[in-house]
Amino acid sequence: MSAYRHGNRTLALGFAVVLCIVAPGARWNARGGVQEPPRPAAGGAPGIDLDGSRVSPEPIGGPAAPSTTKQSSGELDTSFAGDGTIMTFIPPILDPPGYNTDIPHAVAIDGDGRILVAGVATEHPFALERYNADGTLDTTFGTDGLATFSTQWNGEATCMVVQPDGRILVGGGLGAFYALARFMPDGSLDPGFGQGGLVQQLEPRGTATGIALLPDGRIVLAGGGVGHSLHLSRYESNGLPDDTFGTNGVVDTGLAASGRLGMARQADGRFVFVFFAGGFRMVRLLSDGSSDAGFGSGGVVNLPFLGQAVVVQPDGRIFVGGSPWTLPELPPPPAPTIEGDKATLSPKPSFAVARFNPDGSLDESFGRKGIVTTSFNGGSLIEALTLDAQGRLVAAGTTISHSGTGDFALARYEPDGRLDQSFGKGGRTTADVDGLGFDDSTRAIAVQPDGRLVVVGAIAIDRAGPLDSFAWGLARFLP
């Protein structure tokens, strides 16, 4: 058991103690104590003392009081859970030698402004939680805010999209195969989708890491994996394979794709992917899954750095984000410096962004010859990209301190690649989500209708045992 000073309290972190702290439905506001479900207006529910020894008569966490301090763009939003951050443990909390593996992979905003987070939990390969706009758990969803289902398979949920009717599609893998689940707006599985709300195919093998909802209601899953090529599966709106797509609804591109896969769908229906395949690659496929011969060389572009995420502008230009790590067999990227932004390509891990024209060539009007990198105090890596309400690029990732722990990190860019000086400090902002110096790692970002930025990631609570232990972390930033 480890003890940390937390304000005027000492927080003891051992799994038996955490079990006392975090009852089903309780969520930890990292700096304000246990984040509980909404309380009655009069009196309130009792809070839980952080030392785990007694029930406090005073509520801890919950909706924040209105702030009287004006906040600036890029700051944590104090109207969200009191300080802008939440850490969530998915029940059950295990004792040693078991370790919690709660890792979120996707975030989305539904039509009512509520926040949906999907990922994997210790006993739930597909876990889905919904939060109200103020950061409190939406207890009307699933069971105390958690929606999942029983399965004999190991696996994980990795991607998510919300339909216009409010139903929620969650993709990933179960066993060794692609899996897709659809949840109703109340958190129950949709009985009219697949088999009782779940689709699992014998082909393709692996875990889907990208999802797209087509305008006609059909669904595309995509993924690769070690020893696998890039596969696309297309489904009818009821979950049945779309037999007009490839073979039995599956297209095997023949392109080896291992590690993380970034996916984006263009307005014209074409798909763009970034991944590792013996080198750092970007490919564009037509809507039928065939290569787009007019993109790069036969549909393939060699990236100048490790690409992790991709997003497409309305005009068809493509942003790729990652880190400027290179492979020995690849030519090194250019080494320009953009004065005043500390944006320079270097061997030190940092945010790297490139913009490409619709034909796959670098857009030299962006940054220096199409590429910009942005450094933080430590090494850093982009994990997700999005466009905000004004069309500005926002990169979300992780920055690693000199002590080796990670924090959430964001950067916002002007159309020409310069850092947006009105955002955070010089265009950058960071957040220690747990507030205790644990290792925070960004996974995904979503933009609310009001422009606020919601970032989710994994919080490494314990790295001392044979297995790492993780919790879900959320942070909301002002636009």
Residue 326: per-residue pLDDT: 58
Is the pLDDT reported for residue 155 higher than 80? Answer: yes
- Contact between 450 and 479 (Cβ < 8 Å): yes
Residues 6+ apart with CB under 8 A from 377: 399, 401, 402
Q: What pLDDT digit, counting tens, does each position of 47-105 carry?
A: 222 222 222 222 223 444 445 567 899 999 999 999 999 999 887 766 553 467 899 99
Q: Which tokens go with 259?
A: 């590690």
- pLDDT surpassing 50 at residue 130: yes
Bridge partners of residue 445, in order along the sequence = 455
Place of tokens 């490409």: 356
The yes-or-no verdict on residue 120 having pLDDT over 60 is: yes
Gap between the Cα atoms of 3 and 10, Å rounded: 6
**What's the pLDDT score for residue 14?**
30
Whether 7 has a pLDDT exceeding 90, the answer reads no
Mean pLDDT of 435-456: 95
| pLDDT tens-digit map of 393-415 | 999 999 998 777 899 999 999 99
What is the identity of the amino acid at 174? Answer: L
| SS3 state of residue 325 | coil
pLDDT given at position 350: 93
Identify the weakest region by mean pLDDT among 157-171, 209-223, 322-336.
322-336
Please tell me the predicted confidence (pLDDT) of residue 260: 76
Say whether pLDDT at 459 is over 90: yes
For the whole model, what pTM was predicted?
Answer: 0.84
Q: Per-residue confidence at 37, pLDDT binned at 50, 70, 90? A: very low
203 versus 116: which is more confidently predicted?
Answer: 116
Model confidence at 226, in pLDDT bands (50, 70, 90)?
low
Q: 40: which DSSP letter?
A: P
Nearest to 177 by CA among 145, 211, 154: 154
pLDDT at position 277: 83
The residue written with tokens 């990631």 in the block is 457
Residue 253 confidence (pLDDT) above 50: yes
Q: What is the pLDDT of residues 283-341, one digit of tens each?
A: 999 999 999 999 999 999 999 999 999 999 999 999 999 998 755 444 433 333 333 23
Taking residues 113-131, report their average pLDDT.
96
Choice between 204 and 146, residue whose per-residue pLDDT is larger: 146
Give one DSSP letter per residue of 254-312, joined into a string: EEE-EEEEEEEE-TTS-EEEEEESSSEEEEEE-TTS-B-TTTTBTTEEE-SSEEEEEEE
Q: What percent of the chain is predicted at pLDDT more than 70? A: 77
Report the pLDDT value the prediction gives residue 373, as an integer from 0 to 100.
Answer: 94
- Between 44 and 145, name the one with better pLDDT: 145
Arithmetic mean of pLDDT over the chain: 82
Residue 474 CB-half CA count within 13 A: 37
pLDDT at res. 292: 98
Please state, in angstroms and rounded to a whole number, the distance separating the CA atoms of residues 274 and 255: 11
Give yes or no for residue 435 having a pLDDT over 90: no
- Identify the pLDDT of residue 471: 92
Check residue 322 and report its DSSP letter.
Answer: E
Complete domains list, the chain, with CATH: 72-477 (2.130.10.10)
